[in-house]
C-alpha cells in the first residue's frame, strides 16, 4: 500500500480525485448485510495500557478505541442500540469505532500538562505517518530522498518526540487504521467534510471526559487533509460545544481546494493555482540542479524573488489570456524557464500554464519523474508517453517502512491489534461529500470546498486562539506558498493576523521525512505549545 494525500475537488470545480497518501489503497472494508445490521453486536470501547520511557521521559501509553455516532445521536452511554437508553429505536443506525494511541507523561497534573490531538488526512489516511515519522516516542529510520531498502527496518527512540512539550493523542479517522464503521448508510454518516468533522468532534469530547483532560491546555495538530479537518473541528468544538483550544498547528495546509495545482485546467479562468505552485517548481529545479545558469546560494532569497514574479508579472500575463501579445508571451515563457528549468518551447505549448503532474513529468527528462509529496525524491517514469506523472516516487519509497514498522510496534510493544488488519489508507472518494456548511450559512454550499471561513470564525470567536503554519519548500501536493496565501486571505480583522506564525523547511509534504527539518520543526512546535499553554 502506498501512502496518499487523497486530494479531490468537488464536481462544481470539475477537478479529478488525486491520490497521494496511497496510490494503491484498498477499497474500504465491506461488511456483509448481517454485519451492517450488527446482528445484535455493537462496537465497544477498548484499551491496552503499557508503559515506556524516551529521552528521560516516562510515559503511559494507551492504545484503544472510542465509539462515536453521527451528529444526531446522543452517545453518552457509549454502548449503542437497544442497550443505550438515549439511542434511536433503529438498532442499525451507523457508528464508528475510532482507534487512538494516547501517550501521557507519568505523574504530570492534567491542568498543567498540555495535550495535543494529532491526525493525518487523505481523506482516507490513518495517522501512522505522524506517529512513526514525527512525534511518537519511536521513529522509523528512512533515507533522506531515495527508496528505503526492504525489511528489516530500523525503529529507534525518537529524539524529536513532542512528549517533552505535550501529551499526545494520535487518532485514526473512521474506517482507517484500526478504526471501523458499521450500520445503515455508514459511508454517508462518516465520509464528508462535515460528517468527518462531527466524528472527530465527538471523539475529542468523549476523550476529554474519559481521561479527565477537560482542564488541560489543548492543541490540534493536522497534516494535509488534516488541516481542513482541523479548521472545521476547532470551529465546531469552540462554537457548538463551548470548548476553547489554545492553538491549532497546521502542517502542509490546504483550506481552499480551488487553489490546488492538481488539474487546475478543469477550472479555466482561475489562474492562482499556477501562480501559487511556481515557487515550489523553482525550489524543485534548484534542488535537482535544473536551473539555467549559476545555482543561487540562498534558496530562501531565490524563492522570495519567484514569489514576487508569480504574483506580479506572471499574474498579469495570465490575466490577459488570449490578448497577451506574442512578444510578451515569449518573454514570460523565458522567465518561467529561468526559474523552473522547463524548456521555453514546452512552456509556450502549455500556454504558460503547467500543472503539478506535468511539471513532475517533464523536469528530469524522459526517464525520471519527481515526487509529489516531496519533489526531492525521483523515480523511473512508468509511461514515457504520458502527459503527467502517474505515481508518487516518494510514496513508493517510504510507505512500506512506515506501515511495516507500525504493524510490528503496535502489536509487540503496545499489545494491540492481534487478529486485526491495519488499514494505512482507504478509498473514500466514491462516498466523500465535499459540500460544506460554512459558519453562519443556512445550507451546505455547492461551491468548491473552502473551510477558510471556519478557521476565521474560530479565531474571531476566540481571539486568543493561536495558529501555526508549517510547510515544506518541496511539497507539490499542498505547495507552501498556497498555504501562505490562504492565511493572508482569511476573513479576520488585521489585529488577529499576528496570531498566525509561519515556519518553512527544506523538506516536502512530510517535513519530518528529512531528519534535520524534523529537528527544526520539533523546536518550533514545542516552543509554540509552551508559549500558548497559559501555564505559569
Q: How far apart are CA 64 and CA 126, in angstroms?
A: 14
For residues 219 and 243, is the Cβ–Cβ distance under 8 A? no
User: At residue 139, what are phi and psi to the nearest 5 degrees?
Assistant: -135, 135
Q: What is the pLDDT of residue 145?
A: 81
Q: What is the pLDDT of residue 520?
A: 98
Q: How far apart are CA 506 and CA 487, in angstroms?
A: 20
Q: What is the pLDDT of residue 9?
A: 35
Q: List, for residues 396-454, the tens digit of each pLDDT value.
A: 878 899 999 999 999 999 999 999 999 999 999 899 999 988 887 777 776 669 999 99
- Grid cell, residue 519, equals 529537528
Q: What is the pLDDT of residue 84?
A: 55
Q: What is the pLDDT of residue 395?
A: 83
Q: List, for residues 194-242, the tens digit of each pLDDT value.
A: 999 999 999 999 999 999 999 999 999 999 999 999 999 999 999 999 9
- Grid cell, residue 401, equals 517502512
Q: What is the pLDDT of residue 446?
A: 60
Q: What is the pLDDT of residue 385?
A: 77
Regions of the chain with pLDDT less than 50: 1-41, 75-80, 89
Instruction: Set out the domains of the chain in order of their start, with CATH numbers.
Output: 33-40+109-167+192-258+399-531 (3.40.50.1820), 267-391 (no CATH)
Per this entry, what is the length of the chain? 536
Selection from 202, 185, 259, 205 nearest residue 227 by Cα: 259
Amino acid at each position: 500500500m502506498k501512502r496518499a494525500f487523497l486530494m479531490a475537488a468537488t464536481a462544481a470545480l470539475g477537478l479529478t480525485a488525486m491520490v497521494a497518501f496511497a496510490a494503491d489503497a484498498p477499497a474500504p472494508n465491506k461488511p456483509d448485510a448481517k454485519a451492517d445490521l450488527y446482528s445484535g453486536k455493537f462496537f465497544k470501547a477498548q484499551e491496552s495500557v503499557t508503559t515506556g520511557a524516551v529521552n528521560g521521559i516516562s510515559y503511559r501509553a494507551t492504545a484503544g478505541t472510542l465509539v462515536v455516532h453521527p451528529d444526531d445521536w446522543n452517545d453518552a452511554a457509549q454502548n449503542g442500540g437497544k442497550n443505550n437508553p438515549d439511542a434511536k429505536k433503529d438498532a442499525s443506525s451507523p457508528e464508528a469505532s475510532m482507534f487512538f494511541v494516547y501517550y501521557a507523561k507519568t505523574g504530570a497534573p492534567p491542568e498543567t500538562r498540555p495535550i495535543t490531538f494529532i491526525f493525518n488526512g487523505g481523506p482516507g489516511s490513518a495517522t501512522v505517518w505522524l506517529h512513526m515519522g514525527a512525534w511518537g516516542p519511536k521513529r522509523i529510520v528512512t533515507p533522506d530522498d531515495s527508496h528505503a531498502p526492504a525489511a528489516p527496518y530500523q525503529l529507534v527512540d525518537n529524539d524529536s518526540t513532542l512528549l517533552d512539550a505535550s501529551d499526545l493523542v494520535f487518532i485514526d479517522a473512521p474506517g482507517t487504521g484500526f478504526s471501523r464503521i458499521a450500520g445503515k448508510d455508514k459511508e454517508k454518516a462518516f465520509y464528508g467534510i462535515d460528517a468527518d468533522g462531527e466524528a472527530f468532534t465527538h471523539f475529542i469530547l468523549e476523550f476529554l471526559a474519559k481521561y479527565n483532560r477537560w482542564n488541560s491546555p489543548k492543541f490540534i495538530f493536522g497534516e494535509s487533509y488534516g488541516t481542513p479537518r482541523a479548521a472545521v473541528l476547532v470551529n465546531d468544538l469552540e462554537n457548538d460545544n463551548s470548548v476553547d483550544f489554545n492553538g491549532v498547528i497546521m502542517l502542509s495546509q490546504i483550506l481552499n481546494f480551488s487553489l490546488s495545482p492538481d488539474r487546475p485546467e478543469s477550472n479555466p479562468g482561475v489562474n492562482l493555482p499556477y501562480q501559487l505552485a511556481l515557487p515550489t517548481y523553482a525550489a524543485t529545479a534548484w534542488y535537482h540542479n535544473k536551473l539555467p545558469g549559476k545555482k543561487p546560494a540562498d534558496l530562501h532569497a531565490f524563492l522570495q524573488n519567484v514569489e514576487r514574479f508569480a504574483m506580479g508579472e506572471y499574474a498579469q500575463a495570465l490575466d490577459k489570456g488570449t490578448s497577451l501579445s506574442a512578444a510578451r508571451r515569449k518573454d514570460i515563457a523565458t522567465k518561467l524557464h529561468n526559474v523552473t528549468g522547463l524548456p521555453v518551447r514546452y512552456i509556450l505549448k502549455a500556454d504558460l500554464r503547467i500543472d503539478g503532474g506535468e511539471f513532475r513529468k517533464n523536469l528530469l527528462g524522459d526517464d525520471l519523474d519527481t515526487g509529489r509529496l516531496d519533489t526531492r525524491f525521483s523515480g523511473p517514469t512508468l509511461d514515457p508517453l504520458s502527459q503527467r506523472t502517474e505515481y508518487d516516487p516518494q510514496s513508493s519509497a517510504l510507505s512500506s517502512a512506515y506501515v511495516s514498522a507500525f504493524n510490528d510496534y503496535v502489536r509487540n510493544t503496545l499489545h494491540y491489534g492481534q487478529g486485526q488488519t491495519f488499514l494505512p489508507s482507504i478509498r473514500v472518494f466514491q462516498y466523500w461529500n465535499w459540500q460544506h456548511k460554512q459558519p453562519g450559512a443556512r445550507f451546505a454550499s455547492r461551491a468548491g470546498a473552502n473551510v477558510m471561513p471556519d478557521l476565521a470564525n474560530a479565531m474571531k470567536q476566540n481571539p486568543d486562539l493561536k495558529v501555526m503554519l508549517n510547510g515544506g519548500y518541496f511539497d507539490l501536493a499542498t505547495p507552501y506558498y498556497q498555504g501562505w496565501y490562504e492565511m493572508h486571505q482569511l476573513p479576520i480583522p488585521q489585529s488577529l493576523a499576528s496570531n498566525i506564525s509561519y515556519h518553512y523547511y527544506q523538506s516536502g509534504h512530510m517535513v519530518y521525512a528529512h531528519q534535520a527539518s524534523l529537528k527544526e520543526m520539533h523546536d518550533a512546535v514545542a516552543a509554540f505549545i509552551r508559549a500558548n499553554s497559559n501555564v505559569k
